[in-house]
Amino acid sequence: MPAGPPIRIRVLSAEASEPDEVLLPLHGPGSGCTVRLRCLPGATGLQVVLTAEGGAKLRAELPADGGEVVAVQVELDEHGELQVWNSGRDVLFLPAEDRYDPLPPILPAPQDKSLDLVFVIDGTVRHASREEREGHYEKLLAFAERIAEGPRDCRAAVIAFGDQPPPTVTAADLLPQYLLFPGEEERRLQPFDSERLRRDLFSIPSTSGGDFVDALADALDACARLRWRDEARKLLVLSGDSPGHSVLQPLRRGADVCVRERDVDTGGLRLHRLGVEMVTIHHDPPARSGLYDLEFQRDLLLGARSQYTRLASLLEYAFLTSTFDPAAAAAAVRARSGAIGRGASLGGLVEVLAGPQARTALENASYHAPGEEDLLRSSG
């Protein structure tokens, strides 16, 4: 069988601004190679796109951790058909059409770039006293002041979320006062002013959330509708203990009694597409509170913490209230220098191996960066 057109793999360029296409050493049916790809920080998987004659011929995804190097086997079988596999991971094959392209990465921003900063606050925080909440707001103010020091100019906004009323509930203490606060006409980014930000934070009304899942997804949707500046670095800080509705990773039965229109993971993807980086601060109850004693409560609390970790753009952007240091958090955000992915992303090319080297590379264990489970173990 004669050799077909040259096969290339689409990878991230060094700057991650535009994809590159690298020629693979496939010379006809029965030939193969191993491609070692580095998963982009923030991404949860690799998308492998093989092209020929200027168009995508095969598209597949496999799970990976940000920073991890994964060996992917690429072959032309005896019929000349492209095959992709990895001995230790499930591979999901997608249609080759361009509409399945991964989200573009968020590129690093210069230190002096303008900044749009939005705080999303959980108005239903259950286990914190008023004094504890106000102490936390002071930390958020300190974070904002530090993060606003370098940019050319900064704008800020505050949005709080409660929840929608649970069905058939009439008890006053279970009925939320609001879905989102303030009203839509007042949700706008304004020039940064510490005193205004203080007033906005301290004026957030406390509200019941009814059940455990609250209107976080609605808050993320509202943030996507803000007038973010194209030329500014965009940063969202989520602080609370209430999770939002998730279709793909729902909390256990009984956490949510409402029918929902929005989902947090879709909201996170939409914000990423807008170039918004997300920092999360989860209000973790102390072990002495007894809230971890019952299995049902423990599952809810750990599920909420896991969701906040998942929503953070980078693992190092996920914090706990008990250990949150505004100076260290601001330094971590300001120090970010690389591109950020979300979901399955194109990988950065490490090397392409053919012949015996390819088989050896595939058999060797992949390097794993710390994942979400590691974070939960270390912080719990």
Residue type, 119: F
- C-alpha distance across the termini of the chain, in Å: 59
Residue with tokens 């392409």, as numbered in its chain: 352
Give the chain as a 3 state SS string: CCCCCCCEEEEECCCCCCEEEEECCCCCCCCEEEEEEECCCCCCEEEEEEEECCEEEEEEEEECCCCCEEEEEEEECCCCCEEEECCCCCCEEECCCHHHCCCCCECCCCCCCCEEEEEEEECCCCCCCHHHHHHHHHHHHHHHHHHCCCCCCEEEEEEEECCCCCCCCCCHHHCCCCCEECCHHHCCCEECCHHHHHHHHHCCCCCCCCCCCCCHHHHHHHHHCCCCCCCCEEEEEEEECCCCCCCCCCCCCCCCCCCCCCCHHHHHHHHHHCCEEEEEEECCCCHHHCCCCCHHHHHHHHHHHHHHHHHCCCHHHEEEHHHCCHHHHHHHHHCCCCCECCCEECCEEEEEEECHHHHHHHHCCCECCCCHHHHHHHHC
Q: What is the pTM of this model?
A: 0.89
pLDDT of res. 2: 56
Task: Please check whether residue 105 is in contact with residue 276, taking contact to mean a CB–CB distance below 8 angstroms.
Answer: no
**Tokens of residue 33, six digits:** 């190679």
Could you tell me which residues come within 8 angstroms of residue 196 by beta carbon, excluding any fewer than 6 positions away?
156, 190
- Main-chain dihedrals φ then ψ at residue 157, nearest 5 degrees: -155, 160
- What whole-number distance in Å separates Cα of residue 24 and Cα of residue 93? 20
pLDDT of amino acid 374: 38
Q: How far apart are CA 84 and CA 72, in angstroms?
A: 7
Q: What would the two tokens of residue 221 be?
A: 């949707």
Tell me, what's the pLDDT at 18?
87
CB of 333 within 8 A of CB of 319?
A: no
Q: Length of the chain in residues, anyone?
A: 380
The pLDDT of residue 171 is 81
C-alpha closest to that of 70 among 87, 92, 56, 93: 87
Locate 266 and state its tokens: 């879709």
Can you list the domains of the chain with their CATH numbers? 8-106+340-370 (2.60.120), 115-334 (3.40.50.410)
Determine phi and psi for 344, rounding to 5 degrees. -85, 130
Token readout for 161 is 């979320």
Q: Encode burial over 51-76: b for 16+ CB neighbours within 10 A, e otherwise.
A: beeeebbbbbbbbbbbbbbbbbbbbb
- The per-residue pLDDT for 126 is 72
pLDDT value, residue 163: 94
109 CB neighbour count, 10 Å cutoff: 20
For residues 300 and 304, give the distance between their C-alpha atoms in angstroms, rounded to a whole number: 6
Residue 360 is predicted with a pLDDT of 56
Question: Could you report the average pLDDT of every consecutive run of 10 residues in the chain (380 residues)?
Answer: 81 88 94 96 97 94 96 94 94 96 93 94 84 94 94 94 87 87 96 97 90 94 97 97 94 89 97 98 78 77 94 97 96 93 96 72 46 36
